[in-house]
Amino acid sequence: MGHYPSLTKVATSLGIDARELASKKEIKGGIEGFSRINLERCALNLAQSEKWDAFMDVFALIIYGIVLFPNVENFIDFAAIDVFLAFKHERKSHVPTILVDKYHSLTLCHERRGGMILCCLPILYLWFTSYMFKRGGQIEIKNKSEWDHNITNLSEKTISWYSREQNIDEVVCQCGDFLNVPLMGTKGCVNYNPALAIRQLCYPIRSPLVEDSITPFMVYDMTKELDLLNKIRHSWDRVIKKGRELGKRNCNMEGSYQQCQVVMWEKEIVMWVQHVKLPFRGPILIIEETPIQEPMSLEEIENLKKS
């Protein structure tokens, strides 16, 4: 991201004449791209000419720009085009870019204390409910007071931290000189701190986190931070992964981290409730906690099968 493809490359990939494509290029808000109506006309012409491969590419590009990576209304910018071409030619998944944009939007809204999260709200809802409710349980329709009750009674033992379907042997923990994982999307850059989410991969947390490893950073304007963008790109040439050294899989907290985390959890819940202004009426009921069964390792499963 940040170094977009030439018009010639875009035209060749879409099977469109380069001069015709150049005549359709526009600039909105300082951003280069193509209007939705122009690409739809182009797709219609390709369909009438029965050029179905090119039609499907243009149609997919419209979806990328309008649904997956929206920026300016009814406008497909070169950032969305870059992601599409990366998938078309190199089969690079667009899912990480979607997640980066969501992290970026959430962080931006949090820093500015308000704002709109662009698209993909169902993804955020799915993420929230997948951890809040135990797997296998049906999520029924809830009214406002029932959501209040469920959220205020969250505790570390009611969160579904880990899915047994995830068989992850190694975790990306650091990239290059960054002590965490820098990510690049279509809107900007944001870092991901695996130390904060290591428990979601079913590895224990034994001690308080090092401040430098969880310090966030944001890149708002990718056109003005070219040196940092190059540093981020090159950092992915030196990826540091960890696996067995993280310890035996379990969802426990140990030692001094556990005491620190309980206090932080309580403070975060109170702050979040005050910010959202949930209307609590009456005493908060405590959900009965059930013990969490530790997931079995692949080695233990194989031994059971042999037995």
Written as six digits, the tokens of 187 are 């809107």
Based on the fold, state whether residues 167 and 88 are members of the same structural domain: no
pLDDT in tens, 142-152: 787 777 777 77
Burial 56-84 (b: 16+ CB within 10 A, else e): ebbbbbbebbbebbbbbeebbbbbbbbbb
Q: Which of 92, 125, 145 is the last residue of a domain?
A: 92
Is 115 a domain residue? no
Going by C-alpha positions, the residue among 206, 204, 281 that lies closest to residue 244 is 204
Is 118 a domain residue? no
Is 180 a domain residue? yes
> Domain of 256?
162-286
Is 222 a domain residue? yes
127 contact partners, CB below 8 Å, separation of at least 6: none
Q: How far is CA 223 from CA 1, 69, 193, 219, 228, in A?
A: 10, 18, 24, 10, 11
Given a contact cutoff of 8 angstroms between Cβ atoms, the answer to whether 79 and 184 are in contact is no
For the chain, the average pLDDT equals 76
Its pTM stands at: 0.60
Based on the fold, state whether residues 166 and 86 are members of the same structural domain: no
- Cα separation, 19 vs 29, in Å, equals 23
Based on the fold, state whether residues 279 and 185 are members of the same structural domain: yes
Q: Which of 92, 122, 142 is the last residue of a domain?
A: 92
Judge whether residue 78 has pLDDT over 70.
yes
Is 119 a domain residue? no
Based on the fold, state whether residues 87 and 169 are members of the same structural domain: no
Q: How far is CA 182 from CA 122, 124, 261, 303, in A?
A: 25, 21, 25, 39
Is 300 a domain residue? no
Distance of CA 34 to the CA centre of its chain: 26
Based on the fold, state whether residues 166 and 88 are members of the same structural domain: no
Is 219 a domain residue? yes
Domain count, the chain: 2
pLDDT in tens, 260-307: 555 555 566 666 566 655 555 444 444 444 454 556 667 777 788 888
Q: Which of 42-51, 204-213, 290-299 has the highest mean pLDDT?
A: 42-51
- Cα separation, 184 vs 168, in Å, equals 23
Q: Which of 67, 92, 117 is the last residue of a domain?
A: 92
pLDDT at 108: 77
Is 17 a domain residue? yes
